[in-house]
Amino acid sequence: MAHNPTRASLPARPTPRPTQQSQQLPRVQPPSSTRTSQEWRTAKEEVLVRLMFTPGSSPLETTHTFLNAYLAERVAPAAAQRVCLAAYELLANATNYATLGSDVVLEIVERIGKVSVRASNNTIPARVAMLRQQLEKIQANAEETFVSELKRSMTGGVSRPMLGLARIAHEVGLALELETSGERVTVTAVPR
C-alpha cells in the first residue's frame, strides 16, 4: 500500500454556507491598529487549517493551491496573498530541514481578527542556532538581509532557507517569531 506523505485535516470549524442575503462567506476583519502585541499574544486563537507532512515530502504546490482557494473565501485578498506566500516559504523550510521520522505541521490561525501562519518541525541544534541567527539579522534589517540573500541565490551560492524567511519579513511585511521546545522548532509569521 502506498504511503501518502500529506495528511490534511479539515478546518477546526465548519465553514458557514453563504446566505441568500449575503452570498459571501464571512471575512476576517482587517487588523485594528489599536490592538497591542500583548493582546495578540494572549488572545484565544482559532486554528483555521492544520496540515501535517513528512520531512522531505514535496507538498508545496498542492498546498499553495489549496490555501489560495480556502483563504480566498475566509480573508481579505491582500491578507490571503500574504498568508499564502508565508505558508509556502515556511513549509519549504520545515519539510527540507526537519529530522526524519517526525511530522511537519503547518497551521493557519486567527486571533482577534488577524491571520498568521506557523510551521513546526523537529530539527538538530545546529540548525536552530542558524535559524535564530538569521532571524536576528532579519529583525535588525529585513531589506538588507533580503537583498543579501537574493544576491547569494543568484550567484549560485548554496541554497539556504534564509531567502524565504527574509522574503516573508521584507516583501510580505510579517514579523517572524521563533519558539523552541527540545528538538521541536516553530516559526510563526504574524501581522505587525
The dotted CATH code for 43-190 is 3.30.565.10
What's the order of all strands across the beta sheet hosting 175-181? 6-8, 45-53, 104-111, 114-122, 184-190, 175-181
The secondary structure of residue 27, as a DSSP letter, is -
Strand partners, 172: none
pLDDT at 14: 38
Q: What percent of the chain has pLDDT over 90?
A: 43
pLDDT at 7: 39
What CA–CA distance (Å, rounded) separates 176 from 187? 7
Q: Between helices 60-72 and 77-97, what is the axis angle to 10°? A: 160
127 has pLDDT over 50: yes
Contact 32, 113 (CB under 8 A): yes
What type of residue sits at position 121?
N
The predicted model scores a pTM of: 0.74
User: Which residue has cell 493551491?
Assistant: 65
Q: Which sequence spans correspond to the domains of the chain?
A: 43-190
45 has pLDDT over 90: no
User: Which residue has cell 483555521?
Assistant: 48
What is the DSSP secondary-structure string of 20-58?
TTT-S---PPPPPTT--HHHHHHS-EEEEEEEEE-TT--
Q: For the chain, give the mean pLDDT.
A: 79
